[in-house]
Amino acid sequence: MALLAESAHVRDQRAALLAGPAKTSPELVARLNRDFAEVMNTDEVKTELARQGLLVRTGTPEQLDALIRSDIARWQKVVDTAGIKAD
């Protein structure tokens, strides 16, 4: 099995983990985010993901929201320019 880093199709891509219903309490979101970041930033996880060509970057729920909104706007321009339509 090829490592993710060896695939030309996924270079410079981002991935985010989203968990929980939209109305999850801010306190629970903060706790889940803190716990997830703690695990993702362990040497063991970072080393294994680096071996696969991945970089761990954690942030706040607000930063993730801004990233998603930015990506939607960016890709919407691509869709509009290319005239892409859903079937």
pLDDT at 13: 65
pLDDT at 44: 97
Reply yes or no on whether the pLDDT at 4 is more than 90: no
The 10s digit of each residue's pLDDT in 13-58 is 666 666 678 899 999 999 999 999 999 999 999 999 999 888 999 9
| Structural domain span for residue 30 | 25-81
If phi > 0 it is left, if psi is from -120 to 50 it is alpha, else beta; for residue 49 that is alpha
pLDDT at 3: 54
Q: Which residue has the tokens 């716990």?
A: 35
Q: Name the domain count of the chain.
A: 1
Asked if residue 18 is part of any domain, the answer here is no
Asked if residue 56 is part of any domain, the answer here is yes
Asked if residue 45 is part of any domain, the answer here is yes
Asked if residue 58 is part of any domain, the answer here is yes
Determine if the pTM surpasses 0.75. Answer: no
Asked if residue 50 is part of any domain, the answer here is yes
Q: Which residue has the tokens 């970089």?
A: 55
